[in-house]
Structure 1
Amino acid sequence: MKKYLNGKASPIVLLVDAHELSLSRTRDLLISSYPDSKIITAQSIEDILNKFPKLKIDLIVMDILLPNSPGETPQTATGINFLTHLLGNYPKLNIVIHSEQIRSLVPMKQKIYSHIGGFTVVNKTLASEEIITRVNWALEQLTYVKDIKDIKVIDSELELKPEWLKLVNLAFREGFKDKVIAKHMCVSERMVRHYWDRVQEALNIDCEELKNQGKNLRVITQIRAREAGLID
């Protein structure tokens, strides 16, 4: 029997996926590969927070398209925010991102590289054998993020902050104008405009050039944000 963490052959795994069918398939795959493991499932951030502190988790396998609470619409920003929380508070936790939204991890690559625990990513569309290989690597505390493709429009040295991602999602997923966004974020409209400047800088958008070309700056920002995987 293959052993992993500190000689442990029966890892405790938290599996997180908002979609019941995907959750069931992945759970069956993990059980067949790790018959002695304990698999705990969750389908929302609220569900995770109810279970996570009570268990000594060896590995979390999670999608990043998640809802905050049961019944809410899953959003990439929700999963990214929770992943940021995990990286900041559980540096030794082993993590597998099992998702079709891998590109959304581009702004987090530096944080991921700094993570002490295992960290791998695997697209849901890959074969079962490859998924289990990535899970094995994470349990062995290896890092594999080759699938996080850098998007040329992003300045790799400029990290997108959580408030900028929230701005993008409020504008392009919810359709809110700046005045309403300011209320949601509890900041001034002036600060919202500052956030837009920083997001556009991160996406290498030349605002003056676009204005001279008569193009809609907000529309171009939305296009670039989608290309970069910041929104679905």
Structure 2
Amino acid sequence: MNQDLPHLENLKLLVVDDHEIILGGTIDVLRQHFPKAKIFVAKTAQTALEKVAHCQPDLVILDLSIPETEGEIARPDTGIQFLKTLMRKYPTLNLTV
């Protein structure tokens, strides 16, 4: 993982979770600690992969139990496969699960 994060005012974070309550709580905590950060949200693996490519976040905060696409059931194996894909395609991306 790349340990060199930009200055806090330029920080870009991507939160991946399909549960509204957890997602809202995570974003609230992040905003308290990093008020100037740009926070992006994805609820599926497909959307998250698109956001990583488009937004180039400094950190991805990932729930492993996510659906592949909208309308599918959240499954841990989907999140694990997504994590493997991220690590292969973006080897310097900072990740937390």
Is TM > 0.5 for Structure 1 vs Structure 2?
A: yes
TM-score relative to the length of structure 2? 0.89
How many aligned residue pairs are there? 93
1:29-77 Cα deviation digits (max 9, x unpaired):
1011100100000100121133221112100001000101112110000
Which ranges in structure 2 are unaligned for 5 or more consecutive residues?
Answer: none
Q: Select the structure that is richer in helix.
A: 1
Q: Deviations over 1:73-122 (max 9, x none)?
A: 1000000001011111211110010xxxxxxxxxxxxxxxxxxxxxxxxx
- Distance across 2 between alignment mates of 1:41 and 1:70: 14
1:65 aligns to what?
65
SS at match of 1:15: strand
Q: What residue number does 1:83 align with? A: 83
The residue identity in structure 2 corresponding to 1:44 is T
Q: Residues 135-146 of structure 1 correspond to what in structure 2 (within 5 A)?
A: none
Q: 1:1-232 alignment to 2 at 5 Å?
A: 5-6=5-6, 8-10=7-9, 11-97=11-97
Query: Helix, strand or coil: the match of 2:32?
Result: helix
Q: Could you tell me how far apart the structure 1 residues matched to 2:19 and 2:80 are?
A: 17
Q: Quick one: distance in 1 between partners of 2:67 and 2:37? A: 26
SS at match of 1:69: coil
Query: TM (normalized to structure 1)?
Result: 0.39
Q: Which portions of structure 1, spanning 4 or more consecutive aligned residues, are displaced by more than 3 angstroms?
A: none
Indicate the structure whose relative CO is greater, using CA pairs within 8 Å and at least 6 residues apart: 2
Partners of 1:88 and 1:49 lie apart in 2 by 12
Which AA in structure 1 matches 2:14?
L
Q: Which has the higher strand share?
A: 2
Larger radius of gyration: 1
How large is the RMSD of aligned CA atoms in angstroms?
1.2
Cα distance in 2, alignment partners of residues 71 and 50 from structure 1: 17
